[in-house]
Every structure is written in C-alpha cells, then in structure tokens.
Amino acid sequence: MGHGQERVAVTIRMKIKILVSAVADLMDGRMFYEKQGEGVGDYFFDALFSDIDSLVLYAGIHHKFHGYHRVLAKRFPYAVYYTLEKDVVLVWRVLDLRQDPEKLRKSLEARRNP
C-alpha cells in the first residue's frame, strides 16, 4: 500500500431467522432421537443449533439444492436448507437425509411463508 492508504475491513454480521417449518423439523428430530436414548434428543438439538449458528459466518458459501443453500449437519444425517435476504439467513427446513429423495424434494418445494 502507498503512503496515506489504509485498509479497512468491513464485517457484516448475519442475523438468523428460523422459520416455523424448520422449528417443527428440529422438534421432530429431537423427539425421534430422544426415543433412541435418554439425552440423545438434547444432543441432536444442540448439534443442529451449532450447525445453524455457523451460518452467521458462513452463510451463502454452500451449494444450492432445489433453490436453497444447503449445509450438511456435522453429527447427524440432516441438512439445513436456507436462503439469504440481505443480512438475514432464513432457515426454511432441517430435514433428515435418510428419507426418500422424492419426499425430500416435495418438502422443499412446499415453501411456507416466514
């Protein structure tokens, strides 16, 4: 850099909005895993929220799948589907990837209003 020039970094902090459809998916997953063993449902919930929280830093870098950005969960066979609106991450669905691909596609096509 030349004389008198400064480099300024601008950080945009993303906000995360989890829509009702995604909350329902998270609760379904939590109940399923809690039936597998005591405390596993809470672990599922914490793990998926950690993945969702990572979107504050990494939103928008994930490949798109059926019109949504998709981040794969680190500890469970789930994916978080989201869109971006300016500085807001809208989490639409949190889906189990072990289901029939056609059912998964239909779940994503049935967008709900935020």
Which tokens is 75 given?
């500890």
Q: What is the pLDDT of residue 114?
A: 44
Which tokens is 54 given?
């990572």
Could you report the per-residue pLDDT of 7-40, keeping only the tens digit for each? 766 566 789 999 999 999 999 999 999 999 999 9
Which residues, 6 or more positions from 80, have their beta carbon under 8 angstroms from its beta carbon?
Answer: 22, 48, 51, 52, 55, 70, 71, 73, 91, 93, 94
User: In this structure, is residue 1 part of a structural domain?
Assistant: no
User: In this structure, is residue 114 part of a structural domain?
Assistant: no
User: In this structure, is residue 82 part of a structural domain?
Assistant: yes
pTM: 0.85
User: In this structure, is residue 24 part of a structural domain?
Assistant: yes
Residue whose entry in the numeric block shows the structure tokens 């030349």: 2
The answer to whether the CB of 89 falls within 8 A of the CB of 55 is: yes
- Is 113 a residue whose pLDDT tops 50? no
Dist CA 74 CA 69 (whole Å): 16
Domain count of the fold of the chain: 1
Could you report the per-residue pLDDT of 77-95, keeping only the tens digit for each? 999 999 999 889 999 999 9
Q: What is the pLDDT of residue 12?
A: 67
User: In this structure, is residue 10 part of a structural domain?
Assistant: no
